[in-house]
Chain A
Amino acid sequence: MPRLREPERYSKGGPCLRKKSFWLLLLPGLLLILVFLILPIARIVLPTFQVEGQLSLSLYQKFLGDSFYLRIFLRTLRVGVVTALISMVLALPVSFYISRQPGSRKGIFIAMATFPLLTNTVVRAFAWITILGREGILNNTLVRLGIVSEPLKLLYTEGAILVGSVYLFLPIMLISLVGVMENISDETLEAAQSLGANRLTTFLRVVVPLSVPGLIVGSVLVFAGASAAYSTPLMLGGNKNMLLSTLIYQQAMTLDNWTRASVIATVMIVTSYLVVGILNQVAARIGEKTT
């Protein structure tokens, strides 16, 4: 379909719908979100700031003051950050390659990266159990080749969580990066090279800086996803390597400690908002600088 005129001119000019029909259209969605998202979350978050009728942060001091919980909190942050960093390093060259492909091939590369995203996370974590397990494919191969004499402990480690998380979220980083790298014109790259930059310099000094918006969007998505994922840390990390997401389930459903679960819920919300907020600020700064 050919694009007609600028669509925004009409739609942003002023109200096109009558007030009554406007609210009628909007209300069901708003109600759903207010009643079954905002209200239930407010119901668990707000009471955590009140102890014996007084405004207090003591529940949080207790939570983060306990080295057991603090370690889980820090591990959660670490998994989020390291997953984002590894995904970045792997995705940067690959998405650059994809972005330089002609249209149909690019589509195939992107579709291939998208496919795992549509596959169940339990399936994807299970695949890594079969690879990393004690009797897993990797250990069997290493033992058979005589590289190690006894199977290594690969599964139920923080490393396994990292591998599984990169596996889950690398495609998201790839897609975010291809999105911005597509807009880098061939002329820009040729200009850099005609001025004497070699390919590596062009990549590091031209392509990477121009990809920062995509890197930020990708990192936000990967960090938020990896630090809140449930099935992967549970299946690959085991009981000894809990993250906040597996801890909240244990506290709420196994130990029936709803107060602590609410504290964890609040910590998770605040952390994700802070990280997303900071990265968006950075993105806005960079946007100001370049325009």
Chain B
Amino acid sequence: MKRKNTFLIFMVGLVYFFIFAPLVLIALTSFTTESYIAFPPVGFTLDWYSKVFANKTFISSFKLSFTISLAATSIALLVGVPGAYALSRNSFRGKKFIKDLFFSPNLVPQVVLGFALFTFIIVRLRLNVQAALLLGLAISVVTYAFRIVGASIESLDYAIEEAAMSLGANRLTVFFRIVLPNISSGIVSAFLLAFINAFNNVPLTIFLSGPGVVTLPVAMMSYIEYNYDPTVSALSVLLMLMSLAIMLVSEKLVKSGR
């Protein structure tokens, strides 16, 4: 297949245009001086960006989304990494069942989980919305921690651990001095992927919101319902920059980890 295939190239161009054009359009419209979303954009201003930072709801919901996602991701890793380690280092009957359990959060539609957690945590247990958000997001991303870190652990030779132990290190030392440094790039990519997914979550967090406790994507959605101005474009660009930063950091770390 040496000769260039025009049809293939056309399809590739079309699909990547389809993928990027909408995002580029948003970025362009965020600089317009008109008070509505205009294309081609008129003039150039950064006003819409300052409007984002002046919007109290956006700022407080960003803070909430950021801290809750960070905390939920930490919980997911704290329970997922030991779990993945235990499963990969032992084989026993029922291993597949337990593995499936760890994968099950990805099989349940997020709206269903949101509704179930709303009736259980908020209505039945009477915990506050923040607790519900924290647990719900931890559940919804635990599979990333479990799967990605699990893959790193599987590819780590157990002989290294045995060697360390035969030289007198105990289990705990081996885990912290041998296993953890070797799977650090897996942990970092699991962390970043889980964080961005928790941060972006709508279907779960829309059920788990209360007065003054609204995640950023949900706040953004209700803003769009009543307003159609380039503030949302500006906020979208800021969020895209955040995703881009996370992606670049994770690429870099994964590469240096190899």
Contacts and interface: CB of A to CB of B under 8 A. Distances in A.
Contacts of B236: 120, 123, 126-127
B70 interface: no
B172 to A, nearest CB: 9
Interface residues of B, number: 95
Interface in A203-261: 224, 228-231, 234-235, 245, 248-249, 252-253, 258, 261
A130 B158 CA distance: 54
Nearest to A7: B157
B42 interface: no
Given A15-B90, A43-B116, A111-B251, A119 B159 contact: no
Interface string A1-39: 101110110111111110001110110111011101111
A44 B113 CA distance: 10
Chain B contact residues: over half helix, strand or loop, or mixed? helix
Contact of B8 (A5, A97, A262): A97
B98 A231 contact: no
Given A94-B11, A118-B196, A131-B22, A235 B83 contact: no
A115 interface: yes
A122 interface: yes
A4 B83 CA distance: 24
A2 to B, nearest CB: 11
Name the interface size band of chain A: 35 or more
Contact of A22 (B1, B90, B146): B90
B25 A131 contact: yes
A41 interface: yes
Contacts of B136: 36
25 contacts: A5-B157, A7-B157, A14-B91, A25-B82, A25-B85, A26-B86, A29-B79, A32-B75, A33-B101, A34-B101, A38-B104, A40-B117, A41-B112, A44-B115, A94-B12, A115-B244, A120-B217, A121-B217, A170-B15, A193-B1, A199-B5, A231-B221, A245-B109, A249-B207, A265-B116
Interface of A: 1, 3-5, 7-8, 10-17, 21-23, 25-26, 28-30, 32-34, 36-41, 43-44, 90-91, 93-94, 96-98, 100, 111-116, 118-124, 126-131, 133, 135, 137, 140, 167, 170-171, 174, 189, 193, 199, 224, 228-231, 234-235, 245, 248-249, 252-253, 258, 261-262, 265, 268-269, 272-273, 276
